[in-house]
Chains A and B, each alone.
Chain A
Amino acid sequence: MIVAQRKPFEEIKKSLAPYENIVVAGCGTCVAVCLAGGKKEVGLLASQLRMSFGLDKKNVKVSEVTLERQCDREFLETVKNEVEQAEAVLSMACGAGIQFLAEAYPQRPVYPGVNTTFIGVAEAAGLWTERCRACGECLLAETGGICPRTICSKGLNNGPCGGMMEGKCEVDPERSCAWVLIYDRLSQEDRLAAMEAVRQPTDYTRQTQPGKVTHAAYLRRYHADSK
């Protein structure tokens, strides 16, 4: 899932300073799971904003609304009233959701309430780690299910590098070297041969910016079948 972190309070407050009527829009999917922008977090932040503006002797109306997802138009439509009655929106969704919300309501300034960080997993309660870089050419089959482009600090396709020390990464001695992990995993699975070949450089055409994916069943609808 996409993992995000609420932005520092001061930064959020500063971006909303010009307004007297704000709606904080949460998202019930990824950011709710990582405790950054779900209904509860929206409630806490809205409370903080009211109190903080209050301390500044400013009477600011802060409404709250949380939608299922901000990356789907059908859900964005449901908050029309809340958004249109406000002067500005603070979106707690991931970067994709924030942009889609802004696109759906171009007459209202939409501000980000979170920093979107990575595609990751829940290691434990309150702890999420990155696992995928969306490189578009998944090589997990050859690396025993461990992604070197994500887990290796240098994203090396052939490792370990000379900075590996006692099985740890030169950048952070608390982190295991991805390639040592891959070696061990392939070894356990009796598939070390997969690591013996020299891997070619990453194909960055698979990571075009911005990316676009059209499902095979919809090619004709979007006239994309000639591509």
Chain B
Amino acid sequence: MEYTKTLLREIGLEPERLEMFHIGASEAPAWARAVSEMTERARELGPNRLKKEIKTMQSAK
């Protein structure tokens, strides 16, 4: 996970966009917290620049 974050950092993407959580199948509250956390992070970081670029490139074809 640390390594993959490094790979993201190398290309200028925020490593916080990626995270790994160990959650058991029956741990619903933990799952909810993880989802809230990532949603909150996504809000703070804003839209992923790459997503926009890919859309632009695909529509330009």
Contacts and interface: CB of A to CB of B under 8 A. Distances in A.
B10 A59 contact: no
Instruction: Give the secondary structure class of A's interface.
Output: helix
User: From DSSP, what is the main secondary structure of chain B's interface residues?
Assistant: helix
A57 B60 CA distance: 11
Interface of B: 7, 10-13, 49-50, 53-54, 56-57, 60
B36 to A, nearest CB: 27
Nearest to A9: B10
Residue among B10, B12, B50, B60 with the highest chain A CB neighbour number at 10 A: B10
Contacts of B7: 44, 48
A90 B50 CA distance: 23
Contacts, number: 28
25 contacts: A8-B10, A9-B10, A9-B11, A44-B7, A48-B7, A48-B10, A48-B11, A51-B11, A51-B13, A51-B50, A52-B11, A52-B12, A54-B50, A54-B53, A54-B54, A55-B11, A55-B12, A55-B13, A55-B49, A55-B50, A57-B53, A57-B56, A57-B57, A59-B57, A59-B60
Contacts of A59: 57, 60
Contacts of B56: 57
Q: What is the size category of the interface that chain A forms with chain B?
A: 10 to 19
A59 B53 CA distance: 9
Contacts of B10: 8-10, 48
